[in-house]
Structure 1
Amino acid sequence: MATAHINRIGTAVPPNDVHAAFVNFVQHFITERREAAVFKRMVSRAAIEHRYSYFVPVENPDGFEADTEGFYTPDAFPGTAARMARFAKTAPGLAMQAIDALNLDGERERITHLVVASCTGFIAPGIDQLIVKAAGLDPGVERTGVGFMGCYAAVNSLRLAHHFVRSDPSARVLVVNLELCTLHFQQTANLEQLLSMLLFGDGCAATLVTADETGIALKDFRATTIEDSGESITWAVGDQGFDMHLSGEVPGKIARALKHEYERNDDRGLLRGTRPSDYPLWAVHAGGRTILDAVETGFDLAPDKLNWSRGVLRDFGNMSSATLMFVLDRILRGIGTTVESATDGFGVAFGPGLAAESFRFRTV
């Protein structure tokens, strides 16, 4: 049976770094001195330096607007329709930037499957159809949409590509993870919500998965759900965009669940009867500093094992489903230099449920 390989990954982000401007802007919404001090402290500990968006930030905003066009004007934040219109306008272009970074010239007509994952926008005709036309793919390409699954959609989209290639070794699968998280900022004084929004930026990854034996070989996939955690991460469509709830209890729940997996160590668990030390390479969704700390603690990993994930978090923030693909891109680019071939790896992402989606891989 054929083995699916990640051959190449192309990545793209919008042109504007909005992290500092966002921090300055939302501080206007915090009226309690104690909460303002907590927010400032958490910003300094977030381990994020850059996040990107299509919005052009106003330097040192005075509370009247956060961006040059006034999309986020206090007391007049846009409704869901306006946000979806902006998704339709900008998302296809970002997808094409990532696809162009794959250098598919001469290969586009050979793509047999297209998988598109996104949880930050809905349009019809869908992004998948727009990509087919803009990228010059065969109009008969098999299209699959992975919608509204959140951060772990990266693993689910790779799993689909894995199954396509295993069932048809001639399949050539283009996977696109496309997220515009900055379309969903909310005006609120709720500290937990503000800290959640502090994490998110925009990004897109395009990945070529085939049976060609180059890059990263995908071995197997496994998922699990943490009991009594269904309300820990939620993502609901509201009248003013999509409302994110990310409980402060999430890192602790992840750490405890992974410690349990580490201790049980049987073939039914995430580790499949292996030990974390069996995997020199770790591709972990960079959901936030505390999430990465929880994985490190739960699996008792050496601090340097999550360097790729921490680097992506620092440089881009959490881009939902695109984030893990940015981590894999750094590992892929390191093969032959900082990463040895024939090295085993473990990938995992977390999202609503509270669920963990995992996979094992090997560099080729």
Structure 2
Amino acid sequence: MTIALEKPAESRSPASAPAISRMVGVGTAATGTPVSQSELLELLDIDDPRVRSVYLNSAIDRRHLTLPEPDAAGRRLPEPQGRLLDKHKRLAVEMGAQALQACLKRAGADLSDLRHLCCVTSTGFLTPGLSALVIRELGIDPHCSRSDIVGMGCNAGLNALNVVAGWTAAHPGELAVVLCTEACSAAYALDGTMRTAVVNSLFGDGAAALALVGDGPGESRPGPRILRFASYLITGAIDAMRYDWDGDLGRFSFFLDPQIPYVVGANAETVVDRLLAGTGLRRSDIDHWLVHSGGKKVIDAVVVNLGLSRHDVRHTTGVLRDHGNVSSGSFLFSYERLLEEGVARPGEHGVLMTMGPGSTIETALIQW
């Protein structure tokens, strides 16, 4: 969608540019059992020193997971793809409903106020999509418009935010919600390989929702304004993160190339510089950085390449420590922590950044 501006966005300062939309509420939820990395190693009976080191050096203390029940011998066996899809459906709807209700409460809104629901997930495939299932589960008005973004991975929360911000700009005053709900337990392969260890040591279950409203003429609601977006598809690394069929396992399996943190880090400047181009802002002018909790090495690479401090990514590392990588909703877990901290002041700017398959970096510029 094209939004008419008095001047091109590049020639305007962020303070004077019209907002695409406003962020008016956020909520998160997690399900399953909180489990530490050392506890998980014991539950999965992993004794390979190399694999154990991946778990124990991940900067993750605990995650919420729903693991298969042990059999009579106490073993937790791999679940077939059909059972994993059932798990995805159950957990994604359960967590999503909780996060959505928490988000609306924070926004001072009710389910009856919702006009558009966009659901994001990459941990399972459903038809009809999660939006329809959540609407039925919560008794939301069946006339509520909806959309589903499936399979775009950890960056998808910002892809959805971009789309839904456009929807709210076209429907000023009407409430829309981006709901990221990721049942990562439904994408686990329990085979003991190093490939699997990299994934199983990282991801956790979680859902996050963000409420958006576009200001009408003369209106100005509380909450940061969304000013602009910038994306970058690193085509040379398009296979570096993928979730595809494994014929040997008879199920889908996630793959992370060991080089992906360095690929993301090396390209972070490119997309952030594009995001800030023409705004009069430098990276040093950004007061708040809300970066996807993609993993310790990914965060470190972004910090080094963008010249950030550890304080800048305190919420990112805190979410990784307490929840692991909850995929598309991770940056909203960080945003919730920033709000609870109460340090953002009017006029300050923030950058949202997510990374995922493609390989892709997504960014957004916001202002309080």
Structure 1 gaps of 5+ residues are 31-35, 66-71
The answer (yes or no) to whether the contact 1:152–1:356 under 8 Å persists in 2 is yes
Q: Which residue of 2 aligns with 1:113?
A: 116
Report deviation, 1:184.
Answer: 1.7
Question: Within 1, Cα distance between the matches of 2:45 and 2:269?
Answer: 36
For the Cα contact (< 8 Å) 2:19–2:227, is it kept in 1?
Answer: no
Structure 2 regions of 5+ residues with no counterpart? 1-17, 216-220
| Structure 2 SS opposite 1:340 | coil
1:134 to 131, 137, 145: 137
SS in structure 1 at match of 2:112:
helix
Taking every aligned residue pair, what percent have the same amino acid on both sides?
24
Aligned residue identity for 2:222: T
Q: Pick from 189, 192, 214: which aligns with 1:211?
A: 214
In 2, Cα distance between equivalents of 1:316 and 1:271? 30
Which 10-residue stretch deviates more, 115-124 or 288-297?
115-124
Aligned CA distance change for structure 1 residues 62 and 276 (closer, same or farther; 3 Å): farther
Residue 338 of structure 2: aligned partner: 331
Shift of 1:195: 1.8
5 Å matches for 1:40-79? 40-55=52-67, 64-65=74-75, 72-73=76-77, 77-79=78-80
- What TM-score do the two structures reach when normalised by structure 1? 0.86
- Counterpart residue identity of residue 87, structure 1: H
- For the residue of structure 2 that corresponds to 1:349, the secondary structure is strand
Question: Aligned partner of 1:256: which letter?
Answer: A
Match of 1:235 in 2: 243
Contact 1:2/1:165 (CA < 8 Å) preserved in 2? no
Aligned to 1:272: 277
- Seen in structure 2, the aligned counterparts of structure 1 residues 29 and 237 have a Cα distance that, compared at 3 Å, is farther
* Cα RMSD after superposing both structures: 2.4
Quick one: distance in 2 between partners of 1:107 and 1:161? 19
Report the residue type matching 1:272 in the other structure.
Answer: A
1:28 to 46, 52, 59: 46
Residue 46 of structure 2 contacts residue 52 of structure 2 at CA under 8 Å; is this kept in 1?
no
TM-score by length of 2: 0.85
- The separation in 2 between residues aligned to 1:63 and 1:256, in whole angstroms, is 47
Report the more deviating stretch, 90-99 or 349-358.
90-99
For residues 102 and 258 of structure 1, do their structure 2 counterparts lie closer, same or farther at Cα, with a shift above 3 Å needed?
A: closer
- Shift of residue 261, structure 1, vs aligned partner: 5.8
Q: Distance in 2 between matches of 1:306 and 1:360?
A: 16
Counterpart position of 1:222: 230
Residue 168 (structure 1) aligned with residue 171 (structure 2): yes
Mapped pair 1:10 → 2:27? yes
Structure 2 CA distance for partners of 1:288 and 1:129, relative to 1, 3 Å: same
The range that moved more, 80-89 or 242-251, is: 80-89
Query: How far off is 1:50 after superposition?
Result: 1.1
Partner Cα distance (2:66, 2:56) in 1: 24
Work out the CA distance in 1 between the residues paired with 2:303 and 2:123: 28
Q: How many residues align?
A: 339
Q: Are the counterparts in 2 of residues 17 and 53 from structure 1 also a CA contact under 8 Å? A: yes
CA contact (8 A) 1:286 1:323 kept: yes
Output the CA distance in 1 between the equivalents of 2:271 and 2:292: 18
Change (3 A) 1:191 1:134: same
Q: Per-residue displacement from partner, 1:161-200 (whole Å, max 9, x unpaired)?
A: 2101111212210211000001122133432431222000
Give yes or no for contact 2:104–2:111 (8 Å, CA) kept in 1.
no
Shift of 1:110: 2.0
Deviation at 1:97, TM superposition (A): 1.3
Q: Which is worse superposed, 217-226 or 239-248?
A: 239-248
Deviations 1:281-340 (A, max 9, x none): 001000101111011011011221100100110110001111111111112333xx3332
Partner of 1:148: 151
* AA matched with 2:34: D
Contact 1:23-1:198 at 8 Å conserved across structures: no
SS in 1 for 2:236: coil
**In 2, Cα distance between equivalents of 1:186 and 1:355:** 24
Match of 2:262 in 1: 252
User: Aligned partners of 1:299 and 1:106: how far apart in 2?
Assistant: 37
Other-structure match for 2:194: 191
State the Cα deviation string for residues 262-283 of structure 1 (Å, max 9, x = none): 7xx5xxx244254321211001
Per the alignment, residue 345 of structure 2 pairs with 340
Return the offset for 1:126: 2.4
Q: Does 1:87 align with 2:52?
A: no
Q: Does structure 2 retain, via aligned residues, the 8 Å contact 1:233–1:352?
A: yes
Gap change, CA 1:46 and 1:3, over 3 Å in 2: same
**Could you tell which deviates more after superposition, 11-20 or 153-162?**
11-20
CA shift at 1:29, angstroms?
6.8
